[in-house]
């Protein structure tokens, strides 16, 4: 299953399964010192970033590749919702002749097929990017037990992609999300979208259920704030 289909499939349940995403979206907005008036958000989902913004905006462009997610996003006179894959030529065409005070993204850019290219394109429309991305160390114990590779970019790849176009500040954090039992934990993995559509085989799922002895899931995120263009 593709990443896009994964998020579309679980769109209705997403707000009940994105606890970590909500925490980091709130932290991302809280860290903005000079509130921008025009914002482009990539991977807007159901609006977890927008719901934390408490200042007046002139325009807010909300972008997501899942039409089901876009349907869940808040709407008002300042919000423009567009359904785009942010790696697509259609999106890059959309960016032409536009300018934004800030580009924001929470728990989305780690899925980019060419993050360096995307950041380069964004550098043409803004001087300021505030983003938070999951790293490949998310679910690291699961990967170790099942001998699988994360579909998410690693920390160094993320840093390199941004530093090709900007001077940046980076902050890395780890979160542990606890569960009462393994069923709840596995249901979370299935419905949260963080797995990116990489389904385990029955054999690996059985092995994981037997050998995973933690009562929590591991998440690692990196906050990125651009300072100036490089």
Average pLDDT, stretch 67-78? Answer: 92
- Predicted confidence at residue 176, as pLDDT, reads 94
Q: Which two tokens stand for residue 77?
A: 């006179």
Phi, psi (rounded to 5 degrees) for 6:
-60, -50
Using one digit for the tens of pLDDT, what is the confidence trace for 130-178?
Answer: 999 999 999 999 999 989 899 999 999 999 999 999 999 999 999 999 9
* Cα gap 142→208, rounded to integer Å: 7
Using one digit for the tens of pLDDT, what is the confidence trace for 121-132?
Answer: 999 999 999 999
**Cβ–Cβ < 8 Å for 163, 145:** no
- pLDDT more than 70, % of the chain: 89
Classify burial at 115, counting beta carbons within 10 Å of its beta carbon; exposed 0-12, middle 13-18, buried 19 or more: buried
H helix count then E strand count, the chain: 9, 7
- Predicted confidence at residue 193, as pLDDT, reads 59
* Cα gap 188→131, rounded to integer Å: 24
Residue labelled with tokens 């840093």: 159
Average pLDDT, stretch 195-217? Answer: 80
**Cβ–Cβ < 8 Å for 125, 98:** yes
- Predicted confidence at residue 18, as pLDDT, reads 77
- Paired with 166 in beta bridges are 229
- Predicted confidence at residue 194, as pLDDT, reads 60
Local structure of 79: helix, strand or coil: strand
> How many Cβ atoms from other residues are within 10 Å of residue 79's Cβ?
18
Spelled out in words, what is the top-level CATH class assigned to the domain 3-137+150-175+219-229? alpha beta
* Cα gap 178→148, rounded to integer Å: 22
Local structure of 89: helix, strand or coil: helix
Using one digit for the tens of pLDDT, what is the confidence trace for 44-59?
Answer: 999 999 999 999 999 9
* Cα gap 138→151, rounded to integer Å: 10
Average pLDDT, stretch 206-218? Answer: 91
Look at residue 221 and tell me whether its pLDDT is greater than 90: yes
- Predicted confidence at residue 191, as pLDDT, reads 73
* Cα gap 138→75, rounded to integer Å: 32
**Cβ–Cβ < 8 Å for 229, 166:** yes
Alpha helix ranges (H) inside 63-201: 67-72, 89-95, 115-122, 140-146, 155-163, 182-192
First CA to last CA distance, the chain:
37
């Amino acid at each position: 299953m593709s990443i896009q289909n994964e998020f579309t499939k679980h769109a209705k349940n997403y707000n009940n399964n994105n606890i970590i995403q909500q925490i980091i979206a709130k932290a991302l907005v809280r860290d903005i010192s000079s509130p921008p008036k025009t914002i482009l958000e990539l991977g807007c989902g159901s609006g977890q970033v927008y719901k934390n913004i408490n200042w007046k905006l002139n325009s807010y462009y909300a972008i997501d590749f899942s039409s089901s997610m876009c349907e869940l996003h808040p709407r008002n006179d300042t919000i423009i919702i567009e359904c785009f894959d942010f790696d697509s030529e259609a999106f890059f065409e959309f960016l032409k002749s536009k300018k934004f005070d800030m580009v924001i993204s929470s728990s989305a850019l780690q899925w980019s097929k060419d993050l360096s290219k995307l950041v380069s394109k964004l550098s043409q429309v803004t001087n300021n990017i505030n983003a938070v991305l999951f790293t490949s160390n998310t679910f690291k114990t699961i990967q170790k037990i099942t001998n699988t590779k994360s579909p998410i970019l690693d920390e160094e790849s993320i840093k390199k992609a941004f530093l090709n176009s900007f001077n940046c500040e980076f902050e890395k954090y780890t979160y542990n999300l606890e569960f009462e039992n393994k069923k709840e934990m596995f249901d979370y993995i299935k419905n949260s979208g963080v797995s990116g559509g990489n389904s385990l085989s029955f054999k690996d799922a059985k092995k994981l259920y037997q050998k995973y002895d933690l009562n929590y899931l591991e998440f690692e995120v990196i906050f990125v704030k651009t300072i100036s263009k490089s």
